[in-house]
Chain A
Amino acid sequence: MREISLPISDETIRSLHVGEPVTLTGTMITGRDAAHKWMIETFIKKTREPKGDDLQVYEELKKILNGSVIYHCGPVVSGLDTKQYKFVAAGPTTSIREEPYQADVMKHFNVKGVIGKGGMGPKTSKGCQETPGVYFHAIGGAASFIAQRVTKVLGVYKMEFGVPEAMWVIEVKDFPVVVTMDAHGASQHTAIDEGSKKVLDDLLAKPY
């Protein structure tokens, strides 16, 4: 299996194709619903005034996200009272909810990859072609297994979003994923959706 280190170069990103299993090693950050909405409104569309530590976090995020990946994940974390954080369970969450935001976030922060589950839509696919970037599919529900690949929690931003929604900076080693959307416009999700729709239409036409 191909091993990929973070940050990822454009050349490596373009060499990845749908269906390819790879492992990821390096520093990444988690971000899901609240984080995406906040990034878009505060820094990209600027429909909301920055508040509290927003601008400071923004500067940090620019460094962390540049060339790296964002992980759609709301982890179970131990050590919350002592701040000796450890990921206990950390599988992917459903990515399609970030469809309105993802491509803009990728382009703005030069994010090379998104890890999640269930795949994303045409807007993100276009974002993958333009940035360039890819969508990495992790195994949904395999939370204890994936948590073991998180070797260190380096820090956390926006704890006010709550533990699942906060942005956790983590170091991972050999994080297993499959490329299901690539920088060339291919999507395994579109292919499976179309294939299953044909079967469905045939089944619906059958008598009871």
Chain B
Amino acid sequence: MQPDLTEKIMELIRRTSSSLPPDVEKRLREAVEKEEPGSAARGAFETILKNVELARTDSTPICQDTGTPIFYVHYPEGWSTRKLREQIRGALAEATKKSFMRPNAVDAIYDKNSGNNLGGEDFPSIHFEEIDADQPLTIELMLKGGGCENVGRQYSLPDNSLGAGRDLAGVRKVALDAVQKAQGQGCAPGILGIAIGGDRGSSYAKSKEVLLSQMGTRNSDPELAKLEERLTSEANQMGIGPMGFGGKTTVLDTKITGMHRLPASYFVSVSYMCWAYRRRKMTVKGNEVEYN
């Protein structure tokens, strides 16, 4: 029989909301050292790092915008996704009651906040993927705030205004444009998730999924790996800096993935993730639950 994981999932939510992953924190600690002492940029990073420590110690949300909860579930063959969905929803409502999450689900037509982070079939967002029966169940959670979600962009190439054609040179141009347009509004320094191809929907979804890998992980295709490095470095030449205060670090990392597309379409979707990049994973092995 499949165990009830509600409490374990609530613990995943608590950890995700209050404890920034170590690889992200490391990048922020490197970034603070690059800014001039006494500058607004350095002050911003210092406050950010104090907040990261405080949130972890007190089990309080790193950011009050606890975002869209996006769950990625890999379940062994034979598990009930209906039960898992119920348990995830139950855990989310409970975590909201305990102030680990802000009630964030607002009915767009009637302007009513549901009060418990549950709204219709699409809130929270849950992706299920079946794996072999002998593999452990994993649940990954990403919390993506509205400020950074709002500065995400999708381009349909060719884009004449930017002189961007249907190739990696064009992708580079639109990605840099997205960073310039975002300024500090997505809570810079950000992490870029870029999907090339797909349709409008699948492309945006993929541009979020690509963010799940560790900071510094490069695409296995050397061309794309090179473009990832180049985009981070060129974005940082723009001087937007943390919060848009001006400074040396505007983007912490870039991740690119390719998809198949229709002959007629060439979409480039850029998801901007804020510095408060909250993602955590739990792995269920028999009765044991491990958190990363």
Known interface pairs A21-B40, A178-B40. Does A118 touch B62 (Cβ–Cβ under 8 Å)? no
Check A94–B185 contact: CB distance below 8 A. Answer: yes
Residue picked from B63, B101, B183, most chain A C-beta under 10 Å: B63
Check A208–B111 contact: CB distance below 8 A. Answer: no
Check A76–B183 contact: CB distance below 8 A. Answer: no
Residue picked from A139, A192, A203, most chain B C-beta under 10 Å: A139
For chain B, residues 141 to 172, give those with C-beta under 8 angstroms from any C-beta of chain A. 145-147, 150, 162-163, 167-169, 172
Residues of B within 8 A of A199 (CB): 237-239
Partner-binding segment picked from A6-14, A83-91, A101-109: A83-91
Provide the bound-state CA to CA distance between A78 and B64, in Å: 12
Determine if A112 is an interface residue (Cβ-Cβ < 8 Å): no
Check B113–A162 contact: CB distance below 8 A. Answer: yes
Partner-binding segment picked from B5-13, B43-51, B74-82, B129-137: B43-51
For chain A, residues 5 to 47, give those with C-beta under 8 angstroms from any C-beta of chain B. 19, 21, 34
Determine if B115 is an interface residue (Cβ-Cβ < 8 Å): yes
Partner-binding segment picked from A56-64, A127-135, A141-149: A141-149
Determine if B225 is an interface residue (Cβ-Cβ < 8 Å): no
For chain A, residues 163 to 188, give those with C-beta under 8 angstroms from any C-beta of chain B. 163-165, 176, 178, 180, 188
Provide the bound-state CA to CA distance between A76 and B17, in Å: 12
Check B184–A192 contact: CB distance below 8 A. Answer: yes
Provide the bound-state CA to CA distance between A94 and B147, in Å: 6
Known: A141-B145, A143-B51. 8 other contacts (CB 8 A): A140-B274, A141-B48, A143-B60, A162-B113, A164-B113, A192-B245, A196-B180, A208-B168
